[in-house]
Amino acid sequence: MTPDAAVEPVLAEPLPQDEVSSEFVVLVDTYGGSSAYVRSLRRATSPPGPAGILTTPPYDLYLARPAHNLWRLRVYLRPYAARLVALMLAALAATGAGVAVPLVVERVVDGPVAARDPMGLVLLGGFVLAFGLIEAALIFIRRWTQAASALGLESTIRDEIYRHVQRLQMSFHDRWRSGQLLSHVTSDLSVIRRFLSFGLVFLVVNALTFIAVVALLIRLHWPLGVLVAVSHIPLFLFSFRFSRAYMAASRRVQDEQGDLATTIEESTQGLRTVKAFGRQGLMTDRFGRQARQLHNSAIGKGRLLALSSARFDLVPNLTLAVVLVAGAATVATDGMTLGQLVAFVTLQWMLIWPVESLGWIIANAQEAMTAADRIYEVLDTRPSIIDRPTAVAVANDQVQGRLRFEAVAFTYPGTDTPVLRRIDLDVRPGETLAIVGATGSGKTTLISLLPRFYEATGGAITIDGREIRDIQLNSLRGLMGVTFEDPTLFSMSVRENLTLGRRETTDDEIYEALRVAQAEFVYELPWALDTRIGEQGLSLSGGQRQRLALARAIIGRPKILVLDDPLSSVDVHTEALVEDALARVLHGTTALLVVHRPSTVALADRVALLADGEITAVGTHSELLATVPAYRDLLSGWSGDSEAAHHAQ
Ligand SMILES: Nc1ncnc2c1ncn2[C@@H]1O[C@H](COP(=O)(O)OP(=O)(O)OP(=O)(O)O)[C@@H](O)[C@H]1O
């Protein structure tokens, strides 16, 4: 399902313009929150949008409940609550020590300096030094505690996202692009860590510093103090406007970072295809376009920040200049002492950083809010394929292996057309059933329902009469060995790829599985089973990868085998050898076998013909050949050139 396809039903319904921002949030939720959908919605509607439908880019509407998801992250702060309180106290005490210095300076200037008393000067100088040292020690404690808590928090959330994504159903992964997920667990989390470790602390400390300093200024000389306070009001008003614009800009940049990560990942994975078709230029252009887009968005965001920083910088400095002139005049007319003026100016100096940093803190907070939104788009997706409370664990040796599909139907989430309709199949224990059908007829989808990668939307699938939904998911998947059309290997050793963490697997079992799959070549690799194979097994040939994946599926002799075209990349000679050995394995195993060539059909006891999502015939290979013209046509289409064409797809 493409993102644009997902947007169609939304566009069919006019949205009242006055509800646009809340509708936008609903749209995000409805489509799993993937930013890809948000952008395709944007592309599809702007400009020109059909009348009455969103015509403004949704990024500009990114306003509803901005801090809600950031606030929800507080649960992760709980384990660090004591440290955070200590951290805040240290930060406030450090600020208190800092604020005390100008007050001591006032005493120094009006006392020992005015009276030319050297001893008093030394004593007060000692106080200033002591306050300075205390402030430095407290700052050290704060920074140290801050870093430890924030890093701990970041790794807790990262673990949670990773675990959650592992539990989510395939349909989630169909929708979400891996680059977006990658950027969630890297850049989004760093943004949140930066906010929680610096932004939040400075927000609280700076706000309290501002209030304390303004109160002291008013106490020192109220007319000038009030002038300073009032001069900051426009800045606070401006900060609200800035924060709205900055939030939309930062969400756009974060999404585009995810898109770029996806492009890099896809082009690295598909490097062979890109090179084979000589499409490096195309991919470079695509990357360049996205990188430029990200660059422009980031520059736009930077410009917003620069503009706001300039204003936040200008106002305190202008006010300082006014205070210096007005203060000097007041001292001249004995309205205040010289010590008071020095203390006033020093205190006011202390306001520059809190005000100046306000723009940066707001920016940081906005980025953290949008990052939290993106993180909750993943965390809020509930796993839909889960154990029923009554589900039981079933061991391999308790299972006979009778498989039944009873009126099974399936429609992919987010689509309207059923891919499978009224599927009735009965596979006896130990029997091998081949699923045969034209490309796109639903074969892979059909076998994906058995390990519950997707949930059947109608009917029931049973193993030995027990519905698969009544078997605990781990135990269900433990009953079966599965291979996919595209064999996935990980950048681990051959042994780890074969056992995938199952400690009980013995070397003999591994040898046996490798022998059946005709994958003994691994013993000739430099470190045999301990040889680390490159990312996705790219250091191996397609046929070698496929044979390893087959060996992985049959290791430990599962009761049920689900094999999706297990020999498509294997040469004819090896295919015959694998088939011979596989025939012996299949003898005692119930198997569903998707096949694409006549020779593999011979492995099956019976064949089910799938056409447009429906089983149109079931029987032995020779029965179907004799009685079903569509089967004959399909098989004859597979031989010769057309077969080669099929595999080249
Ligand atoms: N994740 C998905 N979301 C939506 N539709 C899908 C998805 N995967 C497959 N489809 C659609 O379901 C239909 C059946 O696909 P499936 O992969 O099961 O066919 P197949 O018979 O295995 O094809 P092939 O022989 O080419 O592997 C196709 O029309 C395909 O476009």
Q: pLDDT value at position 556?
A: 75
Q: Which atom of ligand 1 is nearest to the CA of 446?
A: 18
Exposure class string for 174-207: b at 16+ Cβ within 10 A, else e: ebbbebbbbbbbebbbebbbbbbbbbbbbbebbe
Query: Running DSSP on this structure, what letter comes out for residue 471?
Result: B
Exposure class string for 77-104: b at 16+ Cβ within 10 A, else e: beebeeebeebbebbbbbbbbbbbbbbb
For residue 27, count CB atoms less than 10 angstroms from its CB and return exposed for 0-12, middle for 13-18, buried for 19 or more: buried
Whether the pLDDT of residue 336 is over 70: the answer is yes
Task: List, for residues 381-429, the tens digit of each pLDDT value.
Answer: 888 888 888 888 888 888 888 999 999 999 988 788 899 999 999 999 9
**Edge-to-edge strand order for the sheet containing 403-410?**
420-427, 403-410, 458-463, 466-467
Q: Which atom of ligand 1 is nearest to the CA of 448?
A: 18
Q: pLDDT value at position 632?
A: 85
How far is the C-alpha of 257 from the C-alpha of 179, rounded, in Å?
9
Whether the pLDDT of residue 495 is over 80: the answer is yes
Q: Which atom of ligand 1 is nearest to the CA of 610?
A: 21
Task: List, for residues 119-176, the tens digit of each pLDDT value.
Answer: 767 777 787 788 778 878 877 877 777 777 778 888 888 888 888 888 887 777 777 6
Q: Which residue lies with its CA nearest to atom 16 of ligand 1?
A: 442
Q: pLDDT value at position 638?
A: 64
Q: Which atom of ligand 1 is nearest to the CA of 415?
A: 4
How far is the C-alpha of 593 from the C-alpha of 403, rounded, in Å?
13
- Portion of the chain with pLDDT greater than 70, in percent: 84
Q: Which atom of ligand 1 is nearest to the CA of 445?
A: 18
Most confident range, picked from 43-52, 246-255, 283-292, 539-548: 283-292
CA of 440 to the centre of ligand 1 (A): 5
Q: pLDDT value at position 18?
A: 36
Residue written as token pair 């120094």: 108
Structural element, H or E, at residue 406 = strand 403-410
Q: Which range, of 56-70, 81-95, 444-458, averages the lowest pLDDT?
A: 56-70
Structure tokens at 145: 């505690």
CA of 266 to the centre of ligand 1 (A): 20
In the chain, what are the domains? 3-58 (no CATH), 68-379 (1.20.1560.10)
How far is the C-alpha of 378 from the C-alpha of 162, rounded, in Å?
10
How far is the C-alpha of 508 from the C-alpha of 526, rounded, in Å?
20
How far is the C-alpha of 52 from the C-alpha of 44, rounded, in Å?
14
Q: Which range, of 13-17, 271-275, 379-383, averages the lowest pLDDT?
A: 13-17
Q: Which atom of ligand 1 is nearest to the CA of 594?
A: 22
Task: List, for residues 563-572, the tens digit of each pLDDT value.
Answer: 887 776 666 6
Q: Which atom of ligand 1 is nearest to the CA of 170?
A: 1
Q: pLDDT value at position 535?
A: 58
Closest CA to 367 of 310, 307, 305: 305
Q: pLDDT value at position 536?
A: 57
More confident residue, 456 or 177: 456
CA of 238 to the centre of ligand 1 (A): 53
The pocket around ligand 1, CB under 6 angstroms, is made up of 1, 174, 412, 415, 419, 437, 439-445, 485
CA of 260 to the centre of ligand 1 (A): 27
At residue 462 the predicted structure's pLDDT band, cuts being 50, 70 and 90, is very high
- Portion of the chain with pLDDT greater than 90, in percent: 8
At residue 449 the predicted structure's pLDDT band, cuts being 50, 70 and 90, is very high
Q: pLDDT value at position 572?
A: 67
Q: pLDDT value at position 490?
A: 82
Q: Per the confidence metrics, is the pTM higher than 0.80?
A: no
At residue 46 the predicted structure's pLDDT band, cuts being 50, 70 and 90, is very low
Closest CA to 485 of 595, 592, 636: 595
Radius of gyration, CA atoms only, the chain: 34
Q: pLDDT value at position 66?
A: 63
Q: Which residue lies with its CA nearest to atom 17 of ligand 1?
A: 444
More confident residue, 532 or 111: 532
Whether the pLDDT of residue 63 is over 80: the answer is no
Three-state DSSP class for residue 520: helix
Instruction: Please name the residues in contact with 320: beta carbons below 8 A apart, sequence gap of 6 or more.
Output: 345, 348, 349, 352
Residue to mutate, 412, 421, 435, ligand 1, most ligand atoms under 8 Å from C-beta: 412
Structural element, H or E, at residue 458 = strand 458-463
Q: What is the DSSP string of 3-14?
A: HHHHHHHHHTS-
Q: Which atom of ligand 1 is nearest to the CA of 174?
A: 1
Task: List, for residues 206-258, the tens digit of each pLDDT value.
Answer: 888 888 888 988 988 888 889 888 888 887 777 777 777 777 787 788 778 87
Q: What is the mean pLDDT of residues 421-445?
A: 90
End-to-end CA distance of the chain: 19
Residue to mutate, 171, 417, 419, 449, ligand 1, most ligand atoms under 8 Å from C-beta: 419
CA of 511 to the centre of ligand 1 (A): 34
Q: Which residue lies with its CA nearest to atom 14 of ligand 1?
A: 442
Q: Which residue lies with its CA nearest to atom 24 of ligand 1?
A: 439
Structure tokens at 570: 């294997």
Looking at every residue in the chain, the average pLDDT score rounds to 77
CA of 330 to the centre of ligand 1 (A): 83
At residue 260 the predicted structure's pLDDT band, cuts being 50, 70 and 90, is confident
Task: List, for residues 571-586, the tens digit of each pLDDT value.
Answer: 666 777 777 777 777 7
Residue to mutate, 411, 415, 443, 596, ligand 1, most ligand atoms under 8 Å from C-beta: 443
Residue to mutate, 415, 444, 643, ligand 1, most ligand atoms under 8 Å from C-beta: 444
CA of 439 to the centre of ligand 1 (A): 8
More confident residue, 437 or 28: 437
CA of 412 to the centre of ligand 1 (A): 9
**Edge-to-edge strand order for the sheet containing 432-437?**
480-483, 560-564, 590-594, 432-437, 606-611, 614-619
Phi, psi angles (nearest 5°) of residue 384: -95, -15
Q: pLDDT value at position 519?
A: 82
Whether the pLDDT of residue 304 is over 90: the answer is no
CA of 444 to the centre of ligand 1 (A): 7
